[in-house]
Chains A and B, each alone.
Chain A
Amino acid sequence: MSEDLKKLYQAVLMERQKSTLGFQKREDAQHIIEAYNPVCGDQFQIYLDIENGFLQKVSYHGYGCAVSKASSSLLVESLSAKSLVDCRSQLQYFYQCMDGKETQPPEIYEALAMSKNFPGRQQCATLSWDAIQEFLLNEKGT
């Protein structure tokens, strides 16, 4: 088993992809954001409300691989109760970690960043984040 493989599928990622925290449908959410990869069929919905410029009641639901599930779970945790400004900073931080530009990223970011060493898998790590980034681009609030 290669070291890269062990680093990608390390305990922190496997535990998080199994976690049910934030894994919840919420049809009455103010915003339901679709994260879909037509190549593999992975599909998540991210549910959130925006109250006074803050993201509230953030959750996700859907189907994906271990990497995209863990990453979506991290997104929910990272953006919950954050202001739009903080969310944008968080996204920037996430992508910097994915690009290997953070010297000491937390373990889960490090695991997700390993996906770039495997053909066709980096998009699994960024699927939900890309969808949120596009949503926030159109969301004018600060």
Chain B
Amino acid sequence: MFDARLIRNQFPILNTQDRKGQPLVYLDNAATTQKPWQVMEALADFYEHHNANIHRGIYQLADDATQAYESVRAQVAQFINATPEEVIFCGGTTEAINMVAHGWGYDTLSPGDEVLVTAMEHHANFVPWQVICDRTGATFKVLPLEPDGSLSLTSLEQALTKKTKLLAITQISNTTGIINPLAEITKMAHQNDTLVLVDAAQSIANDQIDVQSMNCDFLAFSGHKLYGPMGVGVLYGKSTHLEKMSPFQQGGSMIYQVSNNKTTFKKAPHKFEAGTPPVAAALGLGAAIRFINTLGMANIKAHAQELRTHAWGKLSDMNDVALYGVALESGAIISLNIKDIHPHDVATVLGEAGLAVRAGHHCTQPLMQHYGIVGTVRISFSVYNTLSEIDHFISALSKVKSLLS
């Protein structure tokens, strides 16, 4: 039985209060989720009982740490329906995308080639492609959006040509929650031999990801948006691509043999994990995945939808509130503005009422330019949010106008 009130008990931070004694109403889950005690315990357990550097230690502690780390790789693979060899640990989504931009893009792209992104991308899935195109002479193309901020598949189909070497696209917009139908999109792209990199930063905690049925070529996500620790993330890549892709970073652990004249690298995924990886954080990620599996992704998704539908309905009824995105079938995110009031002023007043929301451009300045605005107030939901928290938010929002108008 899914009960957000009971789930809250697993998150110690949700029992804390602010300076004024108000309970924390955390509605900034798209930025990072809070952590259940299981995750924190996994981190502490590693440092207390298993701390050793992995892969090269000829003693039991190091061997235990290595096995624990590799078992999380297998766990992640199962979570997204990949094989462990296709799962690369890294620092987070940004690093994962940069690994492909610099590892694959630098070797592959040349003048005449195109990289296509959408205007709803987070800067993390926009800027690396802009930069790598600049360096290689390839053309960086941004696919415009429909007026509501959604993607037109017809426009996408027209924009994809034989020149398009890669499409970088988010599964769920971090600003509006708009969902892109990736199975259809990858099919469309592959007809032109275009590779597809999916930014799954927002979708990983909110929908079941199956890289096989999605048929993406690369997929990136962060552990910290999935109830896991900051500092660990994953790049998934199809084995055929990873075999050919150059490592973005070089150093210890990733080498096969080094001599004065030449260095050879290990096979994937190890050739992409130079230096000491985030072992403790990876174990925390493993605990986070167990937490999610216990709740069930279908239940998590249904809960988020209930919260979003409730909030969207209430917000639609409010005068002078502009909503961005679409009403139905969106991720657990809503962006809004109150007429003539700057999002930061709104967020400051809400913050005083104990509400943690985000305000600004959300690292999606091209999307803000599409809407002709500078920023929005964004609320985003998670397993521990309740309908009464949404009502508290709506009530506080209505007070913003009386203070700032």
| Chain A residues packing against B (C-beta within 8 Å) | 1-2, 4-6, 8-9, 14, 39-43, 63-67, 118-121, 124
Interface residues on B, range: 20 to 34
Docked Cα-Cα span, A140 to B181, in Å, equals 59
Which residue of chain B lies nearest to A64 when distances are taken between CB atoms in the complex? B342
Question: Is B267 an interface residue, CB under 8 A from the partner?
Answer: no
Q: Is A2 a contact of B348 with CB atoms below 8 Å?
A: no
Q: How far is the CB of B116 from chain A (nearest CB, A)?
A: 25
Question: Is B41 an interface residue, CB under 8 A from the partner?
Answer: no
Docked Cα-Cα span, A1 to B348, in Å, equals 12
Given A5-B403, A121-B344, A124-B344: A39 in contact with B349 (beta carbons within 8 A): no
Docked Cα-Cα span, A64 to B360, in Å, equals 11
Q: How far is the CB of B222 from chain A (nearest CB, A)?
A: 20
Q: Is A118 a contact of B375 with CB atoms below 8 Å?
A: no
Q: How far is the CB of B68 from chain A (nearest CB, A)?
A: 37
| Chain B residues packing against A (C-beta within 8 Å) | 20, 341-345, 348-349, 351-352, 359-361, 365, 368, 374-375, 399, 403-404
Q: Is A40 a contact of B403 with CB atoms below 8 Å?
A: no
Docked Cα-Cα span, A67 to B404, in Å, equals 11
A-side interface mostly: loop
In the assembled complex, which residues on chain B have CB atoms less than 8 Å from the CB atom of A63? 374
Given A5-B349, A63-B374, A121-B344: A41 in contact with B403 (beta carbons within 8 A): no
Q: Is A66 a contact of B342 with CB atoms below 8 Å?
A: yes
15 CB-based A-B contacts, threshold 8 Å: A1-B399, A2-B352, A4-B352, A9-B349, A40-B344, A40-B375, A41-B368, A41-B375, A63-B374, A64-B342, A65-B344, A65-B345, A66-B345, A118-B348, A121-B348
Q: Which of B20, B351, B365, B403 contacts A9 (CB 8 A)?
A: B403
In the assembled complex, which residues on chain A have CB atoms less than 8 Å from the CB atom of B341? 66
Given A9-B403, A14-B404: A40 in contact with B365 (beta carbons within 8 A): no
Q: Is A40 a contact of B348 with CB atoms below 8 Å?
A: no
Docked Cα-Cα span, A68 to B387, in Å, equals 34
Q: Which of B345, B352, B365 contacts A67 (CB 8 A)?
A: B345
Docked Cα-Cα span, A115 to B40, in Å, equals 34
In the assembled complex, which residues on chain B have CB atoms less than 8 Å from the CB atom of A65? 342-345
In the assembled complex, which residues on chain B have CB atoms less than 8 Å from the CB atom of A2? 20, 352
Docked Cα-Cα span, A34 to B26, in Å, equals 35
Docked Cα-Cα span, A118 to B344, in Å, equals 11
Q: Which of B345, B360, B368, B403 contacts A1 (CB 8 A)?
A: B403
In the assembled complex, which residues on chain A have CB atoms less than 8 Å from the CB atom of B351? 118-119
Q: Is B360 a contact of A39 with CB atoms below 8 Å?
A: yes
Which residue of chain B lies nearest to A66 when distances are taken between CB atoms in the complex? B345
Q: How far is the CB of B276 from chain A (nearest CB, A)?
A: 32
In the assembled complex, which residues on chain A have CB atoms less than 8 Å from the CB atom of B359? 40
Docked Cα-Cα span, A65 to B404, in Å, equals 11
Q: Is B352 a contact of A9 with CB atoms below 8 Å?
A: no
In the assembled complex, which residues on chain B have CB atoms less than 8 Å from the CB atom of A1? 352, 399, 403
Q: A40-B374, A41-B361 are in contact. List 10 more A-B contacts (CB 8 A).
A: A2-B20, A40-B343, A41-B374, A42-B374, A64-B342, A65-B344, A66-B341, A66-B345, A67-B344, A121-B344
